[in-house]
Amino acid sequence: MLVCEHVEQLRLELDAHRRAGRTIAFVPTMGNLHEGHLQLVRLAKSNADVVVASIFVNPLQFGLNEDWEKYPRTFDADCAQLDGEGCDYLLYPNERDVYPNGMSLQTRVIVPAMTDILCGASRPGHFEGVTTIVAKLFNMVQPDKAIFGIKDFQQLAVIRKMTEDLCLPIEIIAAPIARADDGLALSSRNGYLTSIERPIAAEVYRSLQLAKHALECGRRDFHQIEHESQQHLVAHGMRIDYLSIRRVDDLEPATASDRNVVILVAVFLGNTRLIDNLQVAI
């Protein structure tokens, strides 16, 4: 695997592949890789000839009092894992290269739809930071395909919308949620959980399963179903950010006539924010 710290070096490498007619898949990450990230790389390999990953902990998507400074940086271990999966190139830029004029003067990419609800409501400016950095990375790498995990369901929906609205010639491929044996969605932030909190965290997935079972049994009292799952989480010591049943297509609140819905949840367990989701055909 070749590590490229500068975009110009990566572009030279990828130009040769394009001239040879090879397809390029891209996996953007913030590092601190786990099995979920590696599954993205495997999916990229199965969908393209050349795989590019990136590691950049993007300060623009972290709000005040969030965990940018303490976000784990594990570059050497990340490189070893990517190399072991057969990743071809790693883009590892520094903040100066990504934001050469500073973040305050950075041109922003704003998606007006789906960004002020759910995670967008509790993390103002977060999705503006996400879409800005993803647009920049797409321009740096210019891939044919890009792989994103379904765990960040709202992020995936927003990136799809951005890609469509900006007419970017990139196919967005969604990867299934990678889970631990007890159902907890794999996340870099799981490392913040204490040994006592970690088994409790599995109740996040169980709360989604409770809601899914109610929907599959024919119930359409969505607010009551949400309340019951929220109470399950509160009973296990979690603080609710949201637990909401939404339409898959636009993340608007589900109605009785909707057939494809997604249950989305965000909670705090101790100081750790956990998110998850589960899609249901009803």
- Which ranges constitute the DSSP H helices of 20-94? 35-47, 75-84
Structure tokens at 14: 């990828």
Q: Report the candidate in 48, 246, 278 with the shortest Cα–Cα distance to residue 147.
A: 48
DSSP element (H, E) containing 276 = strand 272-281
Query: Which residues pair with residue 99 across a beta bridge?
Result: none
| Nearest Cα to Cα of residue 188 among 48, 46, 81 | 81
Instruction: Provide the token pair at 275.
Output: 């998110």
Q: Which residues are catalytic?
A: 37
Nearest-angstrom CA–CA distance, 278 and 262? 6
- The helix-helix angle for 7-19 and 126-141 (nearest 10°) equals 50
